[in-house]
Structure 1
Amino acid sequence: MNRTKEIWMSGFALFSMFFGAGNLILPPLLGFKATNQWLIVAIGFAMTAVIIPIMAIYAHAKLQGTLYDFGKKVSPVFSVIYCILIYIIAIALPAPRTASVTHEMAIQPFFNTPTLLTSAIYFALVLVFALNRSKVLSILGKFLTPLIVIILLLIICIGVSADVPSVKSGILQAPLIDGILEGYQTFDAIGGVVVGAVLIISLQLRGHTTFEAKKELIIKSGLIAGSGLVIIYAGLIGVGAFYSSSFPEDINRTALLSGLSYQTLGSIGSTFLSVLVALACFTTAVGIITGTADYFKGLLGDSQIVYRITAIIGCIIGVIVGSYNVGFIIDIALPALMFIYPITIVLILLNVVPKKWASSLVFKSVVITTFVFSIPDFLKFIINPTKLEKLVEKIPLAENSLGWVLPALIIFVFVNLLQKKED
């Protein structure tokens, strides 16, 4: 195969892996709230929803291993615990969210049925596909993503060029920070450390055995995937901002995406998008359940029974959590994201920087510091925030849920200088 063609094919495949249909509901409401500050919020969103995930792919290009390799410099035990947490969070939050998005976009507008019924049928089908390893979904996925992208580009182009009411002033106090934190909800940084390993295996199966050849292909395909994500996310944020005067202020995420598609494409286009998003959500859910089941199967002696039990447990969790509305799932995800995302981000960055700056001691020091200083960030979603006010006031950026950033950076520099002095 022509090398340029292979880079583009890998780039589109990587784009499809990151392009979770559930993520589409996040950018429009962000733009809707940011309004005239939509570009600033788009930059913040891109930092955690595009740049960090693509850096995870670059880290895989250097490591060329598995998810376990990301944290092994901290300690083997830490890395195993980290991997288990990643997969537990994946089946407990983003997988059920796909069922909730499907209900609100594709079922609720046409049928007055309860969400529990939708999630029960949805995850019963997910379990069937996960246990039978059908290739139908992988084939379907190849067609779904291009179709959704085409429709979204139409929404963006029509939305940007349409004559809409003047954009009102934004209600966000810190648009850049809001964009950064909303980017957590895409789960794409977590996705990056997981799907990067899948990309490595697929390249090996296609005959790429040399380290440098795989590294070059991954980096270039990552750039293509990242560019595509930026265009889609920024476009949806922009359209959400431009139509901010056309919808009520209390509109939810799924209703806004459906409303924007109706405003730009009419009822047929809106219905078509809803069906495609539902199908794409389904393929994402199957991918998460099978990936998690595969991990625990490998962890526990390559047992097929473990695979089945994990898939069944994952689908039961999916039925329960997926029966709630999207907004509720996003809200309950916050503590988990505030806990796991900072650690994931520093692991990605430490695996990207040159090895001479990322010794085992640096890994340990930075990860421990990040964990300690991110405790107030996730605790304030569990206990009364006023109890943490005095602590938050003393930590820079803690009021913005980024209290771990400066301490982690300071420790990174300090430990490196200390090691350089000892050398």
Structure 2
Amino acid sequence: MPNLKQTFVTAFALFSLFFGAGNLIFPPLLGLKAGDQWIWVTLGFALSAVVIPILALFGHSRLQGTMADFGRPISRTFGIVYSFMVYLIALALPSPRTASVTYEMSVAPNFDWSPLWLSSVYFLLVFFFVLNRSKILEIIGKYLTPLIIVLLLAIITLGLFADTGAVQPSVFAHNFSTGILEGYQTFDALGGVVVGGIVVISLGLAGDLDYTQKRKTLSRAALMAGSGLLIIYGGLIALGANFSNRIQTEDRTELVHFLSEQTLGKFGQTSLGVLVALACFTTAVGIITGAADFMKGLFGQKQSAFVITAFVGCLLGVVIGQFNVPYIVEVAIPALMFIYPLTITLIILNIAPGKWTSKLTFRLVVATTLLFSFPDFYKIVAPDSGLNDLMSGLPLYNQNMAWVLPSLLVYLLSNFISGSVKNRQAKVEN
């Protein structure tokens, strides 16, 4: 039988997996720029960085399989291709970003090292730990996250009660949708479809739990982890808004440094930098190990596939990780505009009742999402193209969410058509 301790352990593990140290740099700047509208961006950010990832875990609690199972109702091949795309993006963006965040938060303020040198040494160590699968990372991880949480809660509490003057007006034209899009940068929705399968396997190994017990444990743990994420993310956004009269910057890591020094002094700033560096390292090891395990399974459990994938992942980390955080964030936007709508659609379809998600519905809705996410993607990669003027009439185009209403409409129509066909067949049979 699942017990409360097991649920809490699972919830803590989920929180640790979601709240990668790199995620801490996004909420404060979002709040700083949102100013007096910080609640609206918090709601948008929470939707894409908390609610959708938690729904992904609900999907896993129902499927109790792997990430590929999210796309399996369309076809087995689609599920594998989707998984491959997610891991490729993870290796090319959030993994290198951990080195960039480490450099800007922990190394650059204290040492005169070049970013290339740091990323080279960083991913050489990552490669070593991936190949050796040392237990030390698990031990470090158990203590790192609690320490970071305690520091962040102290920073948030002290910062919110600080006398910082009037909160500035928002600079955003669309606060809610801006919060949603910034939440994409956490990669938490992708994390939900990746780590959920790992947790399902872990629950199976932890004890003699049946399907229903594992589903309840994962669902309750997901709600607990989501509540923790909401508190931390919401607190950091509110903190940024509260200091909007004290600092104006576009640099995410500079703002985190400023907030930690203003609340906890130099010691707090240094401590946070060290903990973030260690947490970033364990995140990079986890991402590359997961991708290498996936490729190993795809190629008949061949160890060579594991080693090659780990090497390629670390090589990408060295090349991309030497760039600064703003550059990596900017580069990530087109990929996120493509993969996030698809991921959100697959998550929602997999938690919807089976009678409303036939194979036809899956295929039509996913195809519609891919088609109508193209305008958002194209606007980023070719902002000066005349084609953008033709697509600008689409609903929610200005909010970079042109795929939402068409996908919802196709979902409703496909279910209406399926229901009509079933009723017609039932009348014929009678």
Report the TM-score, using the length of structure 2 for normalisation: 0.97
| In the alignment, structure 1 residue 55 sits paired with structure 2 residue 55 | yes
Amino acid at match of 1:387: G
Q: Is the 8 A contact 2:7 2:220 kept in 1?
A: yes
Which piece of structure 1 moves more, 165-174 or 337-346? 165-174
Q: CA deviation at 1:386?
A: 4.3
Match of 1:319 in 2: 318
Render the CA deviation track for 1:238-284: whole Å, top value 9, x for unaligned: 0001011221x334001101110000000001100000001000000
Instruction: Map 1:27-42 onto structure 2 (within 5 A).
Output: 27-42=27-42
Render the CA deviation track for 1:194-241: whole Å, top value 9, x for unaligned: 000011001000114311101111110000000000000000000001
Q: CA deviation at 1:112?
A: 1.9
Find the aligned partners of 1:201 and 1:60 in 2 and give their Cα distance.
11
Which piece of structure 1 moves more, 135-144 or 71-80? 71-80
Match of 1:374 in 2: 373
Unpaired segments of 5 or more residues in structure 2?
A: 423-430
Match of 1:421 in 2: 420
Find the aligned partners of 1:6 and 1:303 in 2 and give their Cα distance.
34
| In the alignment, structure 1 residue 123 sits paired with structure 2 residue 103 | no
Find the aligned partners of 1:385 and 1:98 in 2 and give their Cα distance.
32
Q: Is the 8 A contact 1:208 1:214 kept in 2?
A: no
Q: CA deviation at 1:394?
A: 2.3
Match of 2:258 in 1: 259
Q: CA deviation at 1:393?
A: 2.1
Find the aligned partners of 1:255 and 1:16 in 2 and give their Cα distance.
24
Q: Is the 8 A contact 1:343 1:371 kept in 2?
A: yes
Unpaired segments of 5 or more residues in structure 1?
A: none
Match of 1:383 in 2: 382
Match of 2:76 in 1: 76
Q: Is the 8 A contact 2:375 2:388 kept in 1?
A: no
Instruction: Map 1:147-162 onto structure 2 (within 5 A).
Output: 147-162=147-162
Render the CA deviation track for 1:307-336: whole Å, top value 9, x for unaligned: 011101100000000000000000000000
| In the alignment, structure 1 residue 395 sits paired with structure 2 residue 394 | yes
Render the CA deviation track for 1:153-206: whole Å, top value 9, x for unaligned: 000100111111211111111110100000000000000000000110010001
Find the aligned partners of 2:270 and 2:339 in 1 and give their Cα distance.
36
Amino acid at match of 1:29: L
Find the aligned partners of 2:208 and 2:269 in 1 and give their Cα distance.
42
Q: Is the 8 A contact 2:2 2:214 kept in 1?
A: no
Find the aligned partners of 1:2 and 1:288 in 2 and give their Cα distance.
28
Q: Is the 8 A contact 1:392 1:399 kept in 2?
A: no
Find the aligned partners of 1:243 and 1:295 in 2 and give their Cα distance.
43
Find the aligned partners of 2:354 and 2:250 in 1 and give their Cα distance.
48
Q: CA deviation at 1:2?
A: 7.4
Q: CA deviation at 1:88?
A: 0.4
Match of 1:298 in 2: 297
- Structure 1 outlier segments of 4+, above 6 Å: none
Percent identity, aligned pairs only?
Answer: 51
Amino acid at match of 2:151: I
Match of 2:270 in 1: 271
Which piece of structure 1 moves more, 168-177 or 40-49? 168-177
| In the alignment, structure 1 residue 16 sits paired with structure 2 residue 7 | no
Q: Is the 8 A contact 1:99 1:282 kept in 2?
A: yes
Find the aligned partners of 1:339 and 1:417 in 2 and give their Cα distance.
28
- What's the secondary structure of 1:399's corresponding residue? coil
Find the aligned partners of 2:2 and 2:65 in 1 and give their Cα distance.
26
Which piece of structure 1 moves more, 194-203 or 207-216? 207-216
Match of 1:110 in 2: 110
Q: CA deviation at 1:47?
A: 0.1
Find the aligned partners of 1:11 and 1:65 in 2 and give their Cα distance.
19
Q: What is the number of residues matched between the two proteins?
A: 422
Q: Is the 8 A contact 1:116 1:323 kept in 2?
A: yes
Match of 1:164 in 2: 164
Find the aligned partners of 2:179 and 2:82 in 1 and give their Cα distance.
26
Find the aligned partners of 2:208 and 2:178 in 1 and give their Cα distance.
41
Q: CA deviation at 1:399?
A: 1.6
Match of 1:405 in 2: 404
Find the aligned partners of 2:250 and 2:371 in 1 and give their Cα distance.
36
Match of 1:92 in 2: 92
